[in-house]
A and B are shown apart, each in its own frame.
Chain A
Amino acid sequence: MRAFRYSLRGLGFALLVAIVVYLPFRLSDFRASEFALIGIYFIAILGLNVLTGYAGVISLGHGAFMALGAYTTAILVADHGMRDLWTIPLAGLLAAAAGAAFGLPALRLSGPYLALATFGVAVATPIVIKKFDGLTGGSGGINLFEAEGITGLPEFLVTLPGGKVLSFNDWLYYLTWTIALVLFAVAWAIHHSRFGRSLRAIRDNEIAAAASGVWLASHKTLAFSISAFYAGVAGSLLAISAFSVQPGAFPVDRSIALLVGLAVGGLGSLAPLAAGAAFLVFLPQWAQDISKAPGVPAVIYGAVLIALMIVLPMGVGGLLRWITRPLTSRLYPRS
């Protein structure tokens, strides 16, 4: 039964990979850049899910870790001539270290206090970036258009088998989604590991988890650090795909958007989080298409978000679980 279950999951993952590989063959160049952005949000939301979905800690500050990742990449590429691809893991690791440094003291705080403390970090981020303009280029940010370290489109990838000519946006798409799929697999492994179970125990009942031998401080800090790693990688990809970083790209809204994407995708889900990422990219555009009058797109966005939360309080993931329950409950007997 267990082997069957895992092979089913493997099949699902293979299907996901196939869709990701095939999609650019059907998409216009512009759409490919949008889907690359979805991939970036997907990574950040997957990370936030480790913290909020498993450990039950709401963070409103993950835009700050994205900013840290983006600026790490931009500074290493622009000032130190590093290849952009190598900066991606570094950006993640630096963000993870910052996450641990912030998380270790801050996780003493309970739910809403921690949420508002992280919110404070998100609010302060653009201001602090502007203040240290020697390093960050102030409000103008850092431009990467002329930088040597930008890889651009690798030669061997220009034409894919089947005659598909790869554009730069297709390359960005493949880059972000390759990383997204790897990190997705990691998130899946976390979900099914002893560590993931301990985190969920903390979420469900902190005191009971501690009584059962879960070391709260280390688990929560590690969860915070992992989620910051994901955000750092996402930020780094954002810098690479935009060829630039500015403090204005990391307002509070960005941190809030990640949380919205997580809620729409479904807290504690994995693959459905991509739907949350797609929501963040497409809904504002769709609202703009309906009317460009001042305020109207925001009214549509807000109203759709509220309606969605009322209809699907557990997000898209909750809906999928509800639909497939009659099937899966027979496949996976509850112990």
Chain B
Amino acid sequence: MADVLQQVVSGIASGGVYALLALALVLIYRSTGVVNFAQGEMAMFSTFVCWELLDRGLPYWVAFFLTLAISFVGGVLIERLVIHTVSRSQALTVVTVTIGLLILLNGAAAWIWKGEQRTLENPFPSDTFDVGGVVIAAQDIGIIGVSLAIVVVLWAFLQRTRVGLALRAAALNPESSRLHGVRVSWMLALGWGLAAVLGAVAGILVAPTQGSFDQNLMLPVLIFAFAAAVLGGLDSPIGAVVGGVVLGVVLNLVGAYIDFFADLRLPAALLLILGILLLRPNGLFGRSVVRRV
């Protein structure tokens, strides 16, 4: 039993990272209606920025928050310069642009940082705690704590501030919001900026757990984040968080206890999600859209 609990705890920790990236995907999907394929690469790029700042001798938390600020500006710029120019086009064009961004950012990171393996400083101690036979790593607690804090701050921002209200209004009904004086297109840019910040946190948390990282850090994480977002419902922030955590736990348990799936964790997870989607086509928490013709 302790064994199972241990798998669950480490599953929650990796699920927390998926949840952050899934939340970023949901933010962008809700505001711009785009599935952002470049989300993982934006996060990877932010992680490299953080590494660069640390490499230049900045204290950890200064580098951390500076990275978040740079990521925010980067996200806003990407929306303003690239996404905004194609936002009136068909879905495929916008999707292709985000794929172009994915390739561009991946290449740019390999170019700037020479494609070498880097090691990101770990902000958490390497201690472990023994709670009734379950060994919990301080790192896992740290990741869960930071993820939780970010989610709470984001929730408070969206639900309790005027700007958050405007952001939600712009996503829900752009035309009415515009009539009420909301600068809709800047709200979309703000959404992209916030998504970039979430991605940055996910990247900075996940990089030390991998030992070393290069420009391909976030591709596997992105796939799990997609799965988490779809599982929870693409338009539901709560769904993204729940989906991420559930996915992390299920992946860990399946990988550990079903031998056949030991090297098939990813397909197994995708199969599970496909099954859930067939029962609930809009994810666990997604709204089903009623349309008038």
Q: Which residues of A contact B (CB under 8 A)?
A: 52, 58, 105-106, 108-113, 115-117, 119-121, 123-124, 127-128, 131, 205, 207-208, 211, 256, 259-260, 262-264, 267, 293-303, 305-306, 309-310, 313-314
Q: Which residues of A contact B215 (CB under 8 A)?
A: 295
For B, the interface residue count at a CB cutoff of 8 angstroms equals: 52
B103 and A58: CB pair below 8 A?
Answer: no
* Additional A-B contacts beyond A120-B274, A294-B110 (5; CB < 8 A): A109-B278, A127-B267, A302-B101, A306-B97, A309-B89
B100 and A305: CB pair below 8 A?
Answer: yes
B288's nearest neighbour on chain A, judged by CB, is A110
The answer, yes or no, to whether B172 is at the interface (CB within 8 Å) is no
The answer, yes or no, to whether B85 is at the interface (CB within 8 Å) is yes
Q: Which residues of B contact A (CB under 8 A)?
A: 29, 35, 82, 85-86, 89-93, 95-97, 99-112, 114-115, 215, 223, 226-227, 229-230, 234, 263-264, 266-267, 270-271, 273-274, 277-278, 281-283, 289, 291, 293
B263 and A108: CB pair below 8 A?
Answer: no
Q: How far is the CA of A109 from the CA of B91 in the complex (A)?
A: 16
B267 and A124: CB pair below 8 A?
Answer: yes
Task: Identify A306's interface contact among B104, B271, B291, CB under 8 A.
Answer: B104
Q: List 7 A-B contacts (CB under 8 A).
A: A109-B281, A207-B291, A295-B109, A301-B103, A301-B107, A305-B103, A310-B82
B281 and A108: CB pair below 8 A?
Answer: yes
A52 and B92: CB pair below 8 A?
Answer: yes
B91 and A259: CB pair below 8 A?
Answer: no
A131's nearest neighbour on chain B, judged by CB, is B264
B263 and A299: CB pair below 8 A?
Answer: no
B293 and A302: CB pair below 8 A?
Answer: no
Task: Identify B293's interface contact among A52, A108, A207, A263, CB under 8 A.
Answer: A207
Q: Which residues of A contact B271 (CB under 8 A)?
A: 124
Q: Which residues of A contact B289 (CB under 8 A)?
A: 110
Task: Identify A298's interface contact among B95, B106, B114, CB under 8 A.
Answer: B106
Q: Chain A nearest CB: distance from B127 CB in Å?
A: 35
A313 and B293: CB pair below 8 A?
Answer: no
3 nearest A-B pairs in the assembled complex, by CB-CB distance = A298-B107, A302-B104, A295-B110
Q: Chain B nearest CB: distance from A326 CB in Å?
A: 23
A305 and B110: CB pair below 8 A?
Answer: no
B33's nearest neighbour on chain A, judged by CB, is A112
B278 and A110: CB pair below 8 A?
Answer: no
Q: Which residues of B contact A124 (CB under 8 A)?
A: 266-267, 270-271
Q: Chain B nearest CB: distance from A99 CB in Å?
A: 15
B105 and A113: CB pair below 8 A?
Answer: no
